[in-house]
Amino acid sequence: MTDTTSRALALLNLLQTHRHWSGAELARRLSVTERTVRRDVDRLRELGYRVESAPGVAGGYRLEAGSAVPPLLLTDDEAVMMAVGLRVAAAQQLVGGPEVSLTALAKLEQVLPAVLRRRVNALASAVHPAGPGQGTAVSPVVLGELALAARDGERVRLRYTDAAGVRSIRRVEPQVLSPAARKWYLLGWDLDRDDWRTFRVNRIDAVEHTRVLFTPREISDEDVAERILLATSWSPQRIEADVVMELPLEPMEQHFGVWAQGATAEDDGSTRWPIGGGDWREALYGMLYIPAGVEFATDFPEPERSELRESLERVLRALDAAPPAPRREAPPVYS
């Protein structure tokens, strides 16, 4: 393989790993001049790769989709993980059914070296998906577009339908894609609301790329996990109620963190906070986290309100009663 061919393949690999590169950065990565980069880009175009270029300080190169799929360069690790992912996808709720995933998997495994096929088999045997027919169908096109935007730090416009059926256009800086509770979630910075928001991917109808890049905002892994967990529980519940606590909105939000979602100021000194759950016990769990000494009222519905009161009265009687006698030690057992 000539130096020119090797360099063109290295350039192609860089263009595949990021949506946008400046000419200066490509030249630095390849240890060549920007003029050489331009010649290598022309060679890739002759081979059928659509490489767009833009002049100026903010210009550079990006690999665009064409009318046909050109050859892809994959590292060993990328090929293995792609094959494992296709096996898992064949059993998941992706629109189009498992046939497409299995066909793609067959083509990929056909060209994998034997040592990589063994790695795929070993990894796939340890992966246990949630199971077929469970969860909500997700468009692989939407999922793929979101993954590219999150990887490249590109702002997008989402055509989104919320849980109430209201459609809107959301301008988002996508940062994390995560599967949870048999669903896919996108965590991103909502530019119109100036805050983090979590979106159910199956409710995203379309993704529009803006080609406007952003610098990812700092967020800890713990905060990401907590926001995704909150999103999995943020859905219509069998029991729904409001709590109005004698605590201003700002300190309430500081105390509850991401779990303050949905809270609103009732007045200068109190906050209204929605709670809910599958039964009164789950709803009570949220109320137990209201800070000590803060009084509150709730419109907890009947008959669960009476059930909750009866249970709490029994707990109070148990706390007022004399404690039971200590447990007797079991006699020793001789073998």
Give the DSSP H/E element, type plus range, for residue 297.
strand 296-298
Listed in sequence order, the DSSP H helices in the chain are: 3-17, 23-30, 34-46, 76-89, 98-111, 114-126, 140-152, 221-233, 249-256, 280-287, 304-320
At 256-281, the pLDDT tens digits run 887 787 788 999 999 998 887 778 88
Cβ atoms of residues 197 and 243 within 8 Å: no
If one compares 5 and 290, the residue with the highest pLDDT of the two is 290
Cβ atoms of residues 19 and 174 within 8 Å: no
* pTM, two decimal places: 0.51
pLDDT at 140 over 80: no
The reported pLDDT for the residue numbered 317 is 94
At 167-183, the pLDDT tens digits run 999 999 999 888 776 67
Q: Among 87, 62, 69, 76, which Cα is nearest to 12's?
A: 62
The answer to whether the peptide bond before residue 303 is cis (omega within 30 degrees of 0) is: yes
**Residue 4 has which token pair?**
């020119």
Q: How far apart are CA 292 and CA 31, in angstroms?
A: 63
Q: DSSP state, 138?
A: B
Q: Give the C-alpha distances (Å, rounded to integers) separating 39 from 8, 36, 284, 292.
A: 9, 5, 67, 69
At 105-133, the pLDDT tens digits run 666 766 677 777 777 776 666 555 554 44
Which amino acid appears at position 226 of this protein? E
At 52-80, the pLDDT tens digits run 888 776 678 888 766 455 676 777 777 77
Q: Give the C-alpha distances (Å, rounded to integers) separating 159 from 200, 303, 323.
A: 12, 40, 60
